[in-house]
Amino acid sequence: MNNQIGTNDRLPEKNRSGGLEQDWAGDDQDWWDWYVTLAKNADAPTELVEGPGLPDVTPATDDELVHELAEPYDLEPSMVEAFGREAFVRLPGVLSPPVVRRLAERLEALLKAEHGDDVAGRFTALEQMWLHDDLMRAVALSPRIGGLAAALLEEPAVRLYHDNALSKEPGCGRTPWHHDAEHFPLQTVQAVTAWIPMSAIPGLMGPLSFARGRRVLEEVADLDFDKVGTSYDEAVAQRFVERQVAVESRPFAVGDISFHSALCFHTAGPNRTTQPRRALATTYFADGARVVESPTLISGTWRDFLPGVEPGGLAASELNPVVGRNRP
Ligand SMILES: O=C(O)CCC(=O)C(=O)O
């Protein structure tokens, strides 16, 4: 990796000059390989410990899985309030252990087919799985998860932006501090990502961690994004310490799902276990949103998720079905 001032060999050649206002010139995996180089990590490598394994249960059948993902989740009003205040919420038991196990096994096969076995230390990703895999489609179009997204955003209806598999392989470092409003090229902050762990995720495995509060962005709005090095990640971390911004960093139990708003600043620790830290991450946005006029390279391969939609256009392509409605 080359993170000297002014260069980063993970940036596609076309993106090396100029500012952020340009299209990403690589593919989605190139984007992740670049993005994790923007996180500050401890210099000394540490020994990896054993991970928790997959839930020790019989995997759900297709029917059981589809049925569970279609059923509404009993969302307490206090959770909606917490999401409105903190910009994230963690919900227990959204998925049962047999469903997590079935999804984890399918995801393992999909990731292996795409990336092979030689992935130690990397952040491997897969997007738009719902277009060609039945189980991943059941997740991305899940009335349970989409319904939670609509309820938490307090929107009548939400559309799918994309699905995503995020595999932090053993030894991979941190995810840089960021908020997703700069990732999604949408003229709304009414967007939310469901982060769906594929096993228990203990602290040493790199669970997603969240800065508390909808207004945290104001604390760091003057900091410049750094497309070649770790200065933005470090400056955000330092600012949070200086301004005493509370950060929630806790393990996830099997079946827990977190939802973070596009305004939520979040990061994830390194994976110091021998097991890949895997999560599905599905993003939804308020029906009626439009694409921004000038997407940036931080928006990555956004055109794949909104085919045929140009800057300024209505974000409602055939790949953005309405998947969640707010129940009265
Ligand atoms: O899984 C990670 O480490 C990062 C995920 C993330 O940033 C997101 O889902 O918005």
Residue 302 near ligand 1, beta carbon < 6 Å: no
Q: Which long-range contacts (CB under 8 A, 24 or more apart) does 58-67 make?
A: 58/98, 58/101, 59/98, 59/101, 59/102, 59/105, 60/96, 60/98, 60/99, 60/101, 60/102, 61/102, 62/134, 62/135, 64/98, 64/99, 65/99, 65/102, 65/103, 65/135, 65/138, 66/138
pLDDT-derived band of residue 327, with 50, 70 and 90 as boundaries? confident
Residue 193 near ligand 1, beta carbon < 6 Å: yes
Residue 166 near ligand 1, beta carbon < 6 Å: yes
SS3 of 24, please? coil
For the CA of 164, the nearest atom of ligand 1: 9
Distance 71 CA to ligand 1 centre (A): 26
Q: What is the per-residue pLDDT for 326?
A: 86
pLDDT-derived band of residue 328, with 50, 70 and 90 as boundaries? low
For the CA of 266, the nearest atom of ligand 1: 7
Q: Which of 145, 175, 77, 178 is nearest to 281 (CA)?
A: 145
Look at 45-49, 113-117, 138-142, 251-255 and tell me which has the smallest mean pLDDT.
45-49
Q: How far apart are the first and last CA of the chain?
A: 52
- Do residues 144 and 319 lie in contact, with contact meaning Cβ atoms separated by under 8 Å? no
Residue 268 near ligand 1, beta carbon < 6 Å: yes
pLDDT-derived band of residue 7, with 50, 70 and 90 as boundaries? confident
Q: What is the per-residue pLDDT for 161?
A: 98
> Cα separation of 91 and 75, whole Å?
9
Whole-structure pTM value: 0.96
Q: What is the per-residue pLDDT for 243?
A: 97
Span 80-117, pLDDT tens digits = 999 999 999 999 999 999 999 999 999 999 999 999 99
Span 156-184, pLDDT tens digits = 999 999 999 999 999 999 999 999 998 99
> Domains of the chain by range and CATH?
95-175+185-323 (2.60.120.620)
What is the pLDDT of the chain when averaged over all its residues? 95
pLDDT-derived band of residue 46, with 50, 70 and 90 as boundaries? confident
- Output the six-digit token pair for 293: 């006029």
CA-based R_g, the chain, Å: 19
User: How many residues comprise the chain?
Assistant: 328
For the CA of 260, the nearest atom of ligand 1: 10
Distance 248 CA to ligand 1 centre (A): 15
